[in-house]
């Protein structure tokens, strides 16, 4: 066809169809000559900025036809829209994607834009394929009847989408011929789309399709074997996913039946029901998915409950093959990030919502040669052989759990000993590990597991036998006599399975095997106890406490030899059928390796091997739980928090409250007497270290302390709230407004004519002869009584409440909600879920979080997942975040008479997943940016708040993230980066826009060092910093734990060295020390949110690690302390206060509170552990903020050490923890944080030495 002008077609594709395009164009040219000029681009390469933008736009502008396969908003859509602006050319969108994408379609006189104009703001942004199919059917019918005008083009659009939907070389070829004929003026012939059924069975080895399950089973399956179902894509993704399916079948089919089922990716439940069930009963023992997003409904997720009901009925482990349809295998191998942000959400996070487990990447893209025909590399999906091997091996071992008799199963239970030594055996967050062990062993006995004879006192056994990691008081000879011995020769066999590079890394760090940690006589020691077929062992230490100098190393040290030996012994020598990690949390999931998408070069993958992994985890901590799921292949069994109670007042605080009540009464009846009482109140408050306050302020402080919610002791796995614990918990849940469900306290307050919000803010004010605080206390007592009666009958609760009719509807709704929460608590099945998992069954998934703040996390016993990251921040979280921003700025302004130019915030995954993004809202609030969700709740847009409306300058923000936030919320990081870029580029005066001011200052410095102007601009606007890729925290806690530091500058430098890694668009954790220091030099205020009822800032080491470390880093760089503010969002009203006040509240309501102490000491051995931990955390805060006042140390010494009765209780509970606590007190004095009297010091030293002598005996 000489002389024919070729039709220029530019294709932007999400899927790897380049080989089909190349072969199709080649065939077309052989038949018709050079009639098509094709240019192919890949969406993921545009996202990653690997494509020259100008060239891409020019190719689109000069094309006759543009074919777009864009699935969501972002850079590809933005560039395509820019290139198509004012262009009159044929544009064909190939898939649903979003309404914005589909609206780009222009085919003759047809555009589908109007179809989506009326889409409601609550819609999820993606176009529902069910709706598209209905439209397709309608258009095809109408187009057949009236084959001209816009209806003809609409029908053509449907036809093109059908070509693309069913894909394959033949369909791609005819697609190109069709559009070249219809819109390129080419005289060619084409065939209709080749369409397959939407679902069916396809066996790639047989290259045969089945629509009949019976036919397939008859020809291919042995009824005596277990069966594995495989779910994968038909249609456009068929070619991409079938390669992984084929490879997995190769590994499985010699031992199991395989039922490979393809589906359209939208209505997968139909395929599951049709081919994984027979006669209404499941016929598969495990399943694995090669499908992105949730199991059903594509990106929309369909109706989740329908999916969960079906999976519960199926009741099998459902594995996530986590295919990388948009990432090159080589790039994945080299990356510490692992999955790309898109794949992390689509292939990991969303499948987790359905309870899918073990996201091991099964396949990825492989580059073939560059194709002149395409103007691009040819990319194919290819299986990752060793990952397929891992998936298959783990599936087979889970099948073993389903088939093996309980009496024959070997179960390893791993507990922790961190930090190492006698005082910390069985350490876990808010869990009584030894009491939980007792219950688990007894339940296993009932389930016919071989757990040996008799019962053990686990704490006494481990300690008396010297079965501890690197014991300080237990001689190594005692440990070696009772531990399991692994000869170095045996260990070296296992060690040789590591790659040469990893072996070299281990030896460089820890020396040749067996190393010095837990080794003896050329062997390695495994501390543990065998009870028949159950092994209880101590997870090895990380090795820092044995070698304090390593505290200055990065946290990505490889495991030492004994650590490796422990897990390989479990798998290869002892033969564990399953491993249970008991409590929050261990260290295996934090070992060096990729953030997600483990390779064989990642230590967690090597250590866990093919052992099914069950992890008993605290429900309150979904952020770290996700790391365990993704990096160590854990199926989570979450457990409840301990019972909650109110802090109340005690000792002299009670006397002070009585004085104040007497004062208020006298004010009304005898003002002269009131004046005499007032100085007594002030003096008593001063004795209690409540200084510089009026009587009203003192009362408010007491009221806040009294009303604080605190945990009571520790949880025992499998136990449920009963009696008063249940009433107390429900009263706390119903204390808060929850949309239409009003606070019970608010309703009762209204019935008394009291403004609830005002009363909370002004508890000291008088109302009809009582303080509002007293009235609120009465309301809380009344609420508990109503709840108690409502558990039997809501009507009884309504009757005793005796409120007017206009409030009765609200009260009924609130009490009914309380009953619903009570029923969820009753449904908690922690122990049953553990047994179900050991049987190889499905563990029902549910949200994780604070059970008071988010009761939807109940019942426990679930496989925890995180809140959908696409919905961060929620509207409520944004509003509360803005409130936090304004409160912190007001507090700073009131003290300094001006606004800070820059604020540093701590942004945790731990907080974000529970608050839905309050700190994210806070950051946007500082910047003067609001979130807008117009047609999509999943694709938030940013909108600037005008300066006039804002009423203040835009404040710069330095965002300090933890590694968990990075791994869990990549889209949120992208959103924040967009916000910083937007604000930095505004045409505003520097004194009204501190982001712009500081970005331009940084730009002027960086432009001298870098020639790449685009990169300079990115770095100038970058404000997100955190641990480097693959790391999660800082080195700071190690310094505090090991006491291996001399000056506070060392502490600051440890923080900076861990956090000086920048995160911006396509910059992932690159070290940027100079930039970080420069940006920190502008910081005048440091802020963090306290979000969880279990944890005051003094209850968790990460608070001093991040908030304290950041504050100390700013001080060290600036030479001046920043303002340090904590915003508490656990109460009905957000409260912002200085860090010293937050520390004091934590100390008063918990560490020094007899109610909290007694709750802890009910738990033998562990109670003392937890108390000693808090004293260590105080030292961390002292070193980083210098805001732990001397009286706190004196009071700790007085209450725990000098009080003989309490000292004996502590000694009986955990004498090693008491000794550690005494050592921390001495250290606090030695470092100048406690100005102890000579009498205090002499007494402390004497008691310390006496206890040391006892420990040495």
Write down the pLDDT at residue 19. Answer: 84
Residues 6+ apart with CB under 8 A from 804: 751
- Is the model's pLDDT at 122 over the cut of 50? no
Write down the pLDDT at residue 979. Answer: 98
Tokens at residue 644, please?
């909650």
- Is the model's pLDDT at 127 over the cut of 60? no
Q: How far is CA 214 from CA 219, 249, 273, 283, in A?
A: 9, 20, 14, 12
- Is the model's pLDDT at 1 over the cut of 60? no
Per-residue confidence at 653, pLDDT binned at 50, 70, 90? very high
Q: What is the pLDDT of residues 138-172, one digit of tens each?
A: 666 655 555 556 888 988 998 999 999 888 889 99
Contact predicate 1042/551, CB 8 Å: yes
pTM equals 0.94
Write down the pLDDT at residue 957. Answer: 99
In this structure, the strands spanning 1067-1071 and 956-961 are unpaired
Tell me the angle at which helices 1154-1161 and 1166-1185 cross, rounded to the nearest 10 degrees: 130
- Is the model's pLDDT at 224 over the cut of 90? yes
Q: Which residue has the tokens 């940006």?
A: 1079
- Is the model's pLDDT at 1088 over the cut of 50? yes
| Weakest-pLDDT range from 58-62, 218-222, 265-269, 723-727 | 265-269
Tell me the C-alpha distance between 91 and 81, whole Å. 11
Write down the pLDDT at residue 303. Answer: 79
| Weakest-pLDDT range from 214-228, 664-678, 1148-1162 | 664-678
What whole-number percentage of the chain has pLDDT above 90? 82
Residues 6+ apart with CB under 8 A from 963: 595, 1026, 1027, 1030, 1031, 1032, 1033
Mean pLDDT, to the nearest integer, of 1067-1095? 97
Per-residue confidence at 125, pLDDT binned at 50, 70, 90? very low
738: left (phi over 0), alpha (psi -120 to 50) or beta: beta
In this structure, the strands spanning 845-847 and 411-415 are unpaired
In this structure, the strands spanning 644-646 and 709-711 are antiparallel
420: exposed, middle or buried (Cβ count in 10 Å: 0-12, 13-18, 19+): buried
Contact predicate 872/916, CB 8 Å: yes
DSSP string, 964-1006: HHHHH-HHHHHHHHHHHHHHHTS---GGGBHHHHHHHHHHHHH
Q: What is the pLDDT of residues 605-625, one digit of tens each?
A: 999 999 999 999 999 999 999
In this structure, the strands spanning 941-944 and 956-961 are unpaired
| 941 or 823, higher pLDDT | 823
Whose CA is closest to 399, among 578, 278, 561?
578
Q: What is the pLDDT of residues 1172-1216, one digit of tens each?
A: 999 999 999 999 999 999 999 999 999 999 999 999 999 999 999
Tokens at residue 625, please?
């739980």
Per-residue confidence at 182, pLDDT binned at 50, 70, 90? very high
Tokens at residue 1060, please?
């000086």
**Bridge partners, residue 417, by sequence:** 425
Tell me the C-alpha distance between 39 and 63, whole Å. 9
Q: Which residue has the tokens 């006995």?
A: 445
Whose CA is closest to 599, among 970, 318, 339, 245?
339
Write down the pLDDT at residue 241. Answer: 93
- Is the model's pLDDT at 557 over the cut of 80? yes
Q: What is the pLDDT of residues 370-420, one digit of tens each?
A: 888 888 888 899 999 999 999 999 999 999 999 999 999 999 999 999 999
Annotate 95-107 with b (16+ C-beta within 10 A) or e (fewer).
bbbbbbbbbbbbb
Q: In whole angstroms, what separates CA 134 from the centre of its chain?
A: 38
How high does pLDDT run on average in the chain? 93
Tell me the C-alpha distance between 996 and 987, whole Å. 9
The DSSP 8-state label assigned to residue 1035 in this structure reads: S
| Weakest-pLDDT range from 767-771, 892-896, 1034-1038, 1183-1187 | 767-771
Q: Which residue has the tokens 């002389």?
A: 3
Tell me the angle at which helices 671-687 and 695-707 cross, rounded to the nearest 10 degrees: 60
Tell me the C-alpha distance between 1131 and 607, whole Å. 43
Mean pLDDT, to the nearest integer, of 916-939? 89
Beta strands in 111-226 (DSSP E): 200-203, 208-210
Write down the pLDDT at residue 124. Answer: 47
Write down the pLDDT at residue 1129. Answer: 97
Mean pLDDT, to the nearest integer, of 212-216? 96
- Is the model's pLDDT at 1135 over the cut of 50? yes
- Is the model's pLDDT at 96 over the cut of 70? no
Write down the pLDDT at residue 1098. Answer: 98
Q: How many CB atoms lie within 10 A of CB 770?
A: 16
User: What is the C-alpha radius of gyration for the chain, rounded to an integer number of angstroms?
Assistant: 32
Q: How far is CA 315 from CA 144, 265, 847, 1230, in A?
A: 47, 21, 19, 59
Contact predicate 860/640, CB 8 Å: yes
Give me the residue spans of the domains in the chain.
7-184, 200-394, 408-420+432-452+476-642+829-863, 649-707, 721-827, 870-1151, 1153-1257
Q: How far is CA 834 from CA 410, 613, 739, in A?
A: 15, 11, 35
Whose CA is closest to 129, among 273, 307, 301?
301
Mean pLDDT, to the nearest integer, of 1004-1022? 92
Write down the pLDDT at residue 933. Answer: 82
**Bridge partners, residue 670, by sequence:** none
């Amino acid at each position: 066809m000489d002389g024919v002008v070729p039709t220029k077609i530019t294709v932007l594709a999400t899927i790897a169809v380049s080989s089909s395009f190349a072969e199709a164009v080649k065939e077309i040219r052989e038949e018709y000559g050079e009639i098509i000029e094709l240019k192919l681009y890949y969406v993921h390469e545009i996202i990653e900025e690997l494509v020259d933008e100008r060239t891409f736009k020019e190719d689109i502008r000069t094309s006759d036809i543009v074919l777009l396969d864009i699935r969501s908003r972002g850079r590809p859509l933005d560039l395509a829209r820019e290139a198509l602006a004012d262009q009159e050319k044929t544009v064909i969108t190939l898939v649903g994607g979003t309404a914005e994408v589909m609206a780009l379609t222009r085919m003759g006189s047809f555009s589908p834009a109007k179809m989506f104009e009326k889409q409601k703001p609550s819609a999820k942004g993606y176009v529902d394929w069910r709706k598209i199919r209905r439209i397709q059917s309608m258009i095809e019918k109408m187009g057949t009847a009236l084959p001209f005008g816009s209806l003809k083009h609409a029908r053509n659009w449907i036809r093109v989408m059908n070509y693309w939907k069913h894909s394959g070389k033949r369909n791609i070829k005819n697609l190109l011929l069709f559009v070249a004929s219809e819109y390129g003026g080419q005289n060619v012939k084409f065939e209709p789309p080749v369409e397959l059924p939407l679902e069916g069975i396809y066996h790639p080895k047989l290259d045969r399709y089945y629509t009949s399950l019976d036919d397939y089973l008859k020809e291919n399956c042995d009824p005596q074997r277990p069966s594995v179902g495989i779910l994968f894509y038909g249609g456009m993704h068929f070619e991409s996913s079938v390669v992984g399916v084929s490879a997995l079948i190769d590994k499985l089919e010699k031992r199991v039946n395989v039922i490979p089922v393809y589906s359209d990716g939208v209505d997968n439940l139909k395929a599951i029901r049709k081919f994984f069930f027979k006669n209404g009963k499941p016929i598969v023992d495990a399943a694995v998915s090669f499908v992105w997003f949730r199991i059903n409904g594509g990106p929309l997720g369909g109706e989740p409950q329908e999916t969960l009901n079906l999976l519960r009925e199926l009741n099998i482990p459902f594995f996530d093959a986590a295919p990388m349809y948009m990432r090159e295998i080589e790039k994945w191998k080299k990356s510490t990030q692992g999955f790309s942000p898109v794949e992390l959400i689509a292939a990991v996070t969303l499948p987790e919502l359905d309870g899918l487990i073990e996201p091991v990447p099964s396949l990825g893209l492989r580059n073939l040669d560059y194709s002149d025909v395409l103007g691009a590399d040819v990319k194919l999906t290819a299986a990752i052989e060793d990952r397929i091997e891992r998936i298959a091996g783990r599936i087979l071992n889970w099948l073993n759990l389903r088939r093996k008799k309980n009496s024959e199963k070997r179960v390893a239970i791993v507990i922790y000993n961190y930090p190492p030594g006698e005082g910390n055996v069985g350490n876990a967050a808010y869990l009584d590990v030894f009491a939980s062990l007792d219950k688990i062993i007894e339940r296993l006995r009932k389930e016919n597991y071989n757990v040996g004879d008799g019962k053990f006192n686990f704490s006494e056994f481990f300690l008396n036998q010297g079965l501890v990691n690197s014991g300080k008081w237990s001689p190594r000879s005692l440990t070696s006599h009772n531990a399991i011995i692994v000869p170095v020769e045996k260990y070296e066999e296992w060690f040789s399975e590591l790659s040469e590079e990893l072996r070299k890394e281990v030896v460089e760090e820890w020396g040749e095997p067996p190393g010095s940690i837990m080794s003896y006589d050329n062997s390695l020691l495994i501390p543990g106890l065998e009870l028949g077929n159950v092994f209880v062992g101590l997870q090895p230490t990380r090795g820092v406490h044995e070698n304090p100098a390593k505290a200055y190393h990065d946290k990505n040290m490889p495991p030492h030899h004994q650590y490796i030996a422990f897990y390989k012994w479990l798998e290869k020598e002892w033969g564990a059928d399953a491993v249970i990690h008991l409590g929050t949390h261990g260290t295996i999931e934090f070992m060096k390796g990729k953030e997600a998408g483990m390779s064989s070069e990642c230590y967690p993958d090597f250590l866990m091997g093919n052992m099914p992994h069950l992890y008993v985890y605290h429900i309150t901590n979904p952020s770290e739980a996700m790391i365990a799921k993704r990096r160590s292949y854990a199926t989570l069994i979450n457990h409840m928090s301990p019972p909650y109670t109110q802090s109340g007042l005690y000792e002299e605080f009670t006397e002070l409250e009585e004085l104040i009540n007497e004062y208020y009464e006298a004010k009304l009846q005898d003002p002269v007497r009131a004046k005499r009482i007032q100085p007594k109140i002030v003096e008593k408050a001063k004795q209690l270290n409540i200084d510089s306050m009026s009587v009203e302020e003192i009362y408010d402080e007491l009221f806040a302390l009294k009303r604080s919610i605190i945990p009571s002791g520790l949880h025992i796995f499998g136990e449920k709230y009963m009696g008063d614990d249940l009433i107390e918990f429900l009263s706390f849940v119903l204390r808060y407004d929850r949309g239409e469900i009003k606070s019970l306290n608010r309703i009762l307050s209204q019935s008394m004519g009291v403004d609830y919000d005002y009363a909370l803010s002004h508890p000291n004010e008088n109302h009809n002869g009582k303080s509002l605080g007293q009235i609120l206390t009465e309301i809380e007592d009344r609420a508990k009584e109503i709840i108690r009666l409502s558990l039997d009958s809501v009507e009884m609760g309504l009757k005793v409440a005796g409120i007017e009719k206009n409030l009765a509807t609200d009260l009924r709704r609130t009490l009914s909600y309380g009953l619903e929460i009570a029923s969820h608590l009753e449904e908690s099945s922690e122990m049953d879920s553990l047994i179900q998992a050991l049987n190889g069954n499905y563990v029902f998934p549910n949200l994780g979080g604070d059970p008071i703040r988010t009761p939807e996390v109940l019942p426990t016993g679930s496989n925890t997942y995180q809140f959908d990251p696409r919905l961060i921040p929620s509207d409520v979280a944004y509003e509360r975040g803005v409130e936090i921003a304004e409160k912190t700025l007001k507090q700073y302004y009131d003290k300094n008479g001006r606004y800070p130019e820059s604020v540093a915030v701590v942004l945790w995954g731990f907080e974000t997943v529970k608050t839905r993004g309050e700190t994210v809202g806070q950051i946007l609030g500082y910047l003067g940016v609001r979130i807008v969700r117009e047609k999509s709740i999943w694709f938030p847009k940013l909108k600037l708040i005008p300066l006039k409306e804002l009423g203040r300058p835009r404040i710069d923000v330095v965002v300090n993230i933890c590694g968990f936030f990075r791994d869990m919320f990549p889209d949120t990081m992208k959103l924040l980066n967009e916000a910083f870029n937007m604000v930095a580029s505004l045409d505003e005066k520097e004194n009204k826009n501190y982001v712009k001011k500081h970005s331009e200052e940084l730009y002027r410095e960086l432009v001298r060092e870098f020639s790449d102007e685009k990169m300079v601009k990115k770095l100038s606007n970058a404000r997100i910093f955190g641990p480097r890729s693959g790391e999660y925290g800082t080195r700071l806690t190690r310094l505090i734990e090991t006491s291996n530091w001399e000056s506070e500058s060392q502490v600051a430098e440890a923080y900076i060295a861990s956090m000086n890694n920048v995160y911006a668009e396509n910059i992932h954790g690159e070290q940027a020390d100079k930039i970080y220091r420069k940006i920190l030099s502008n910081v005048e205020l440091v802020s963090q949110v306290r979000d969880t009822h279990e944890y005051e800032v003094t209850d968790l080491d990460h608070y001093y690690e991040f908030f304290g470390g950041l504050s100390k880093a700013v001080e060290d760089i600036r030479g001046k302390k920043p303002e340090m503010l904590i915003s508490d969002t656990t109460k009905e009203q957000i409260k912002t206060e200085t860090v010293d006040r937050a520390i004091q509240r934590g100390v008063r309501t918990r560490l020094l509170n007899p109610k909290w102490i007694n709750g802890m000491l009910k738990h033998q051995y562990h109670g003392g552990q937890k108390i000693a931990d808090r004293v260590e955390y105080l030292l961390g805060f002292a070193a980083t903020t210098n805001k732990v006042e001397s009286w706190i140390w004196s009071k700790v010494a007085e209450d725990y050490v000098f009080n003989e009765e309490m000292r004996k209780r502590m000694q009986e509970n955990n004498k090693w923890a008491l000794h550690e606590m005494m050592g921390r007190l001495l250290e606090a004095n030695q470092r100048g944080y406690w100005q102890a009297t000579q009498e205090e010091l002499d007494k402390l030293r004497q008691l310390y030495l006496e206890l040391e002598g006892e420990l040495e005996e």
